[in-house]
Amino acid sequence: MDPRFDHDAQTTGTLPGIGAGALDLSARREPPAWLEETRAGLTAPGRYLAFEQDDRIVVAAVSREWTRIGRSLAADVRFDDATVSRRHALIANEETGVRVLDDRSLNGISVNGRRVEWSPLVDGDELTIGRHTLFFLDTVSTPTVGRPKALAE
């Protein structure tokens, strides 16, 4: 018995009752209510990051080859927050698609609840940077809902 506790405590090994499937952190959450309204308000086709900051919705275009996210003044998407590294993540806008890369950050990045070094991004993906949640919106690669089909001649 450990003298610091009045009962037996397991001090080594794996935690009892915790298995590989016990907690699925990669499960997607329900998107916030503001996301669909924000998507509907986009007037130009493109790729965007949408997020809440200081009680307002921010939409940042991902139109350049590289979009930098971090705490630095040089970042394209900037968060003045200690949970975000100066150079936290990069969004690469390539011909084959868009991907996010961890830029050697301290706290890492997550896509849809899963910690990654890099990951392709598709419309609706949830990106976590520090304590901030961003949503990737792709109105270029996503077909318009309700678009009428061409009639066969």
Distance (Å, rounded) from C-alpha 130 to C-alpha 90?
14
Q: CA angle, 85 as apex, 80 and 86 as ends, to 5°?
A: 75
Confidence (pLDDT) at 6: 56
Q: What is the pLDDT of residues 15-65, one digit of tens each?
A: 444 444 444 455 567 899 999 999 999 999 999 999 999 999 999 999 999
- How far lies 105's CA from each of 27, 89, 129, 130, in Å? 23, 7, 9, 9
In this predicted structure, the answer to whether residue 151 has a pLDDT above a threshold of 50 is no
Confidence (pLDDT) at 32: 94
With beta carbons less than 8 A apart as the criterion, state whether 86 and 69 touch.
no
With beta carbons less than 8 A apart as the criterion, state whether 97 and 85 touch.
no
Q: What is the pLDDT of residues 106-144, one digit of tens each?
A: 999 999 999 999 999 999 999 999 999 999 999 987 654
In this predicted structure, the answer to whether residue 85 has a pLDDT above a threshold of 50 is yes
Residue 70: which of 33, 31, 111, 102 has the closest Cα? Answer: 102
In this predicted structure, the answer to whether residue 152 has a pLDDT above a threshold of 50 is no
With beta carbons less than 8 A apart as the criterion, state whether 77 and 63 touch.
no
Contacts of 81 (CB under 8 A, 6+ apart): 71, 130, 131, 132
